[in-house]
Structure 1
Amino acid sequence: MANRRHILQSLGAFPMLAAFGVSHAEAWPSRPLRIVVPNAPGGTSDIIGRLLTKPLSDALGQPVIIENRAGAGGNIGAAAVAQATDQHTVLLCDVGGLAISPSIYKTLPYNLDRDLQGVAMLAQSPHLLAVHPSVEANNLQELIALSKRTRLNVALAGQGTPNHLATVQLAQITGIQWQHVPYKGGAPAVGDTVANVTQAVLNGMAATYPQVQGGKLKAIGVAGKTRSPLLPNLPTLAEQGATDFESGTWQGVTVSSKLPKDQVARLHAELVRIVQEPALRAQLRDAGVDMVAMSPVETTQFIARDRVRWAKVVKQAGNTIEGST
């Protein structure tokens, strides 16, 4: 009888053990989390991603790894995440690039509406227009006049990126003339402007301001609604004649649409908590970046609105880039 009771008690424990096993199997993440940054190292998205890895790893209990997948206006990285089946691959990028791609590329290896979902918006900073110190222009009007007398090469952080379209839009508004030179990210674009391979760059504050601060680049104007606290004496481009012009970088996180909503909710909660930490906020504020928190739905809606905005710029420019990643 004792043996029978022992057996029954053991059998009675199985449902509890089984339930524990199922719960353990469903725990997420169950392996290292891979954050894909679709640009070269050193750009704004890369800077923010690397600041997130340690606190996010501590919060999730798994290693967090940055993987730079640059090229094709961010579409190589975006496709890697959209097509991921492991539920442990995340895209951190300037979400404007996602919004632009459907208007620029005739074919894409993913469907923005179907294959990706928003998780969180994290940060925002205005673009900064800067030139090599040898360029004989100290403001936007002087730069416009100079561009009509001599060839100016402007570095792009990638073909089909927000930097690219903002550069196109600025020319539409002001009549500035410059030759586009595309790179695989903001860091190499800024680097070649410092080296005077290109003479101008319109890029995010985080990667550009340190070079202005160090005297390696000369700031012409900031593309925000208001002046930057880092450069309070520098007029906005709108103040200098580029009426209503505003552009910048919005770092957001998206994942495959196949990722369950409860996992999306957890990732969102941890990311928002981390970017609101005072030390991280202060570190990024010193680089000209403001932390911005948006819900998964708000992030998806933001991308949809940006898609409409940039489609108008592309239509006016009349330059659809053929091909895909």
Structure 2
Amino acid sequence: MIARRLLLGGALALPAIGARAQAAWPDRPVRFIVAFAPGGPADIIARLLAQALSEVWPHPVVVENRGGAGGNIAAQVVARAAPDGLTALLTTSAFAVNPSLSRNAGYRPQEFAVASVVAGTPNLFAVRGDGEVRTLRDLVEIGRRRPVNFGSAGIGSTPHLSAENLLKTIAKVQAEHIPFTGAGPAMTAALGGQIDMASVALPAAVQIVQSGRARGLAVTSARRVAALPDVPTVAEAGFDPIVDLTWCCVLFPAAVPEAVLEKVNADINRLLATPAFQARLAATGFDPIGGTRAENSRFVADELQRWGEVVRGLNISLD
């Protein structure tokens, strides 16, 4: 259970939006630019939102995947988009990591306005289901004999940093990171034996682990998750606890009118408050977060600071 989802409690106490703003926007289809390849957490949230919002907005929501560079390519596209509220960035907590990894991430957080922090999920360490590795301890023991590698949704994703922390800092084994354009491709590589382990946000692997094609070694949460009750936490697997969260958010260019941002925030919060949408999130391993625009903006600002400290502590840099 993610404590920060408690933000949802105050989500419906929102400023009123003028009837004119509600009627005027959107006057054309809205594009959700997803920062990663299909199958990952941002893509899952984008498609859940697109389906639901298309039913309440006068024009549909179109999902476009622009994976690459750890989410930076999509961020650059949206940062340069017209501030008409018709182009949004659907990304993950990688947005809060990348500016600390490189002085040339291609965007500045100040170029964006936070409409909603939608949901969050722990990260999962997973391997192919029919392989020799059955526990996290097995993988670490292999790493003591030879270097191991792991894949993630990209450099700067929180699953990347979770695995760096586990393998290099806690277990002290030699490990190489293999970045992919999304969690889906990373899981595909793990299933194909091209990498030793995938470190991904939980929703990208829930169905694959449930089917037995992959084995979950551990989740980065304080307690086990309902979607995968047989997968232990990192602490239960015998290592120092790791409690890391991948969250998904909706961002717009900073100059988008406040009335549009408030409407998007309110409409998403209404979805998050419905049992049907909550059930869809839970089925894939997500917990709702939600909250007002001000709460969500503070959340992202706090995460920028926290992950900056993590990056410096792990001594990771792309410069």
TM-score (norm 1): 0.86
- Whether 1:159 and 2:125 are equivalent positions in the alignment is no
- Whether 1:222 and 2:219 are equivalent positions in the alignment is yes
Maintained 8 Å contact 1:119/1:267: yes
Distance 1:303 1:242, change over 3 A: farther
Maintained 8 Å contact 1:189/1:201: yes
Report deviation, 1:135.
4.0
Provide the C-alpha distance between the structure 2 equivalents of 1:200 and 1:249, rounded to a whole number of angstroms: 18
Residue of structure 2 aligned with 1:122, choices 115, 118, 125: 118
- Whether 1:140 and 2:131 are equivalent positions in the alignment is no
User: Aligned residue for 2:192?
Assistant: 195
The count of residues paired between Structure 1 and Structure 2 equals: 299
Provide the C-alpha distance between the structure 2 equivalents of 1:182 and 1:266, rounded to a whole number of angstroms: 36
Report deviation, 1:24.
8.6
User: Aligned residue for 2:89?
Assistant: 91
Distance 1:25 1:117, change over 3 A: closer
Residue of structure 2 aligned with 1:232, choices 217, 229, 233: 229
Matched residue type, 1:149 = R
Residue of structure 2 aligned with 1:41, choices 31, 38, 42: 38
Larger radius of gyration between Structure 1 and Structure 2: 1
Maintained 8 Å contact 1:165/1:310: no
Report deviation, 1:200.
0.4
5+ residue gaps, structure 1: 1-22
Q: Which runs of 4+ in 1 moved over 6 A?
A: none
- Whether 1:286 and 2:283 are equivalent positions in the alignment is yes
Report deviation, 1:149.
1.1
- Whether 1:57 and 2:54 are equivalent positions in the alignment is yes
Alignment of 1:59-74 (within 5 A): 59-74=56-71
Distance 1:181 1:232, change over 3 A: same
SS of the aligned residue for 2:63 comes to: strand
- Whether 1:178 and 2:178 are equivalent positions in the alignment is no
Distance 1:175 1:294, change over 3 A: farther
Sequence identity percentage: 33
Report deviation, 1:174.
2.6
Q: Deviations over 1:229-266 (max 9, x none)?
A: 12323320023343231123111111111011111111
State which drifts further: 28-37 or 293-302.
293-302
Report deviation, 1:25.
11
SS of the aligned residue for 2:213 comes to: coil
Provide the C-alpha distance between the structure 2 equivalents of 1:179 and 1:319, rounded to a whole number of angstroms: 13
Matched residue type, 2:283 = D
Matched residue type, 1:223 = T
User: Aligned residue for 2:8?
Assistant: none
TM-score (norm 2): 0.88
